[in-house]
Structure 1
């Protein structure tokens, strides 16, 4: 019995040491990291400044998905009726669109227009994309009728659209045809895959939802590999992610619906493409419940619209 207790204690200490080492940056820059977080559990937008916590805020926002830097010091968040634009430094609402009930996600395109995403929407079956110009005038409607689920959208470098559809990720063309698709590896329950991003080598990176991992697929749609863990961070649901300038992947490790998940797991994780957890951030259980989206602001010009480049990295447009 004594031996088992000693072994368990030793294992626990090893896990704590691993997590501590993973959270230590080599250059010290993480100590001043600034982040925008979308807390789905409490339906709040958070601004986190690790060096100046007195600047942090936690403001209530409508339920919805995704967040994007759109320039002029603003962040856009999708809502169930369109979107809101919020001042990054204060969280104050500065603009909104509320006339498209049934919106699942919103994304500002490179041309400055906004693409709304819905399902069985606007009189059409399947995935529906609605592009609005700066005056909220509909410029085009794109329909992918053969799909029964959708989450986020990302515009590829050549003008197509990556969409997650439960256990699939698809690349849709503006004419409504499908250029490419892949199926996530099988899991015990519906995956609800969250976000997809095309990488510089032509592979596609997907946050696998309830798969609790990243999955990567090649140009033919074949599975390449996955990464997750370690168990001490309680991988539960990999949702919104960002590819940093250094090539690392920062992802929100969502822990469940509602207000009682603040003590569950470590909800912001940064991996190297090789699969090593290089940094993590433990949420404040008194302020946050379940983080669904993350944007690392370090080194970004908040006065510019940000989209992903041909390497998948978030850059100013």
Structure 2
């Protein structure tokens, strides 16, 4: 009888352990995330696998802006002379364009061509978009002459372009006309607004650069709201971002030029559309300095070119 009682107690104890979440494998949905990061501070491309850190790499790349999944297991990065294509799993350079000195950013279009971005460039004043085909031959030149600053572009589903220009964001047509624009909320210094993306409700989401926030504008260009914080993440400069499948926004919280910023702030932030910070990733100060661009690879097919859909989400082309 006593032995049966002991066996029963052991069984109850084991049952309690099984019910204890601490004894179970982690169900953290973020624990297996894979990230591509552009570290501007160290001028490096990073691949980060949270579940398998032995696969991580940190490779030197030229100075430039933006990064994009372009298929065949490659990521494209803009450079000062055009672009480079890098293998996502190794970081090795597999292709490049180096004949357009003065390039500010590069973006692969739905038609497979690449749009290069420049300022006071190609013998034109203001913002210049240069479309080149797979043979690097120029197919189109689009000019918005009334702007004196440019960062990134995003092709809309209508074939127009959302472009950030310091404290303004606008939508331009291929004929050079402007059909929509908005003024960012005034800040103490130049914003250097980074990226704009049209959302499914017609609003336009902008990472505000030195505004250190997201700003949302309606169809008339009126500011709807701004999202940032909390102070513990040290918001400094909201740069490249991605709209996830679930509608959340993941943004790079850049902290400054050059090395030595790796201990500053939390540099990868995820917000839901209501403005709540739902996830963040703290960079390794021994590996990163100041992250400018981010791609969350979870659920994406790296063998397909990805562009933004009518909801602003990355989808295979």
- What's the TM-score once normalised by structure 2's chain length? 0.92
Q: Distance in 1 between matches of 2:27 and 2:49?
A: 18
Q: Distance in 2 between matches of 1:29 and 1:233?
A: 21
CA offset digits 1:152-176 (Å, max 9, x no partner): 0000010000000000001000000
Moved over 4 A (4+): none
1:45 counterpart residue number = 45
2:312 equivalent to 1:312: yes
Q: CA deviation at 1:27?
A: 5.8
Q: What does 1:16-95 correspond to in 2, within 5 Å?
A: 28-95=28-95
Q: Distance in 1 between matches of 2:294 and 2:315?
A: 15
Q: CA deviation at 1:29?
A: 1.6
Q: CA deviation at 1:28?
A: 1.8
Q: Distance in 1 between matches of 2:203 and 2:275?
A: 16
CA offset digits 1:151-202 (Å, max 9, x no partner): 0000001000000000000100000000100000000000000000000011
2:301 counterpart residue number = 301
Q: Distance in 1 between matches of 2:101 and 2:260?
A: 28
Q: Distance in 2 between matches of 1:261 and 1:104?
A: 23
Say which SS state the counterpart of residue 31 (structure 1) adopts. Answer: coil
CA offset digits 1:12-44 (Å, max 9, x no partner): xxxxxxxxxxxxxx9622000000000000000
Q: Distance in 1 between matches of 2:143 and 2:278?
A: 40
Q: Distance in 2 between matches of 1:111 and 1:198?
A: 20
2:4 counterpart residue number = none
Q: What does 1:60-209 correspond to in 2, within 5 Å?
A: 60-209=60-209
Flag structure 2 segments of 5+ consecutive residues without an equivalent.
1-25
Paired positions, count: 292
Q: Distance in 1 between matches of 2:204 and 2:248?
A: 15
Say which SS state the counterpart of residue 30 (structure 2) adopts. Answer: helix
Q: Distance in 2 between matches of 1:261 and 1:280?
A: 17
1:257 counterpart residue number = 257
- What's the TM-score once normalised by structure 1's chain length? 0.92
Q: Distance in 2 between matches of 1:172 and 1:113?
A: 18
Larger Cα Rg: Structure 1 or Structure 2? 2
Q: Distance in 2 between matches of 1:95 and 1:133?
A: 14
Q: What CA RMSD, in Å, does the superposition of the two structures yield over aligned residues?
A: 0.8
Flag structure 1 segments of 5+ consecutive residues without an equivalent.
1-25
1:278 counterpart residue number = 278
Say which SS state the counterpart of residue 54 (structure 1) adopts. Answer: helix
Q: Distance in 2 between matches of 1:224 and 1:97?
A: 40
Q: Distance in 1 between matches of 2:178 and 2:151?
A: 17
Q: Distance in 1 between matches of 2:277 and 2:302?
A: 27
Q: Distance in 2 between matches of 1:92 and 1:214?
A: 33
Q: Distance in 2 between matches of 1:234 and 1:125?
A: 37
Q: CA deviation at 1:240?
A: 0.1
Q: Distance in 2 between matches of 1:114 and 1:186?
A: 33
Q: Distance in 2 between matches of 1:123 and 1:29?
A: 50
2:204 equivalent to 1:241: no
Q: Distance in 2 between matches of 1:61 and 1:120?
A: 25
Say which SS state the counterpart of residue 232 (structure 1) adopts. Answer: helix
Q: Distance in 1 between matches of 2:305 and 2:27?
A: 28
Say which SS state the counterpart of residue 65 (structure 1) adopts. Answer: coil
1:10 counterpart residue number = none
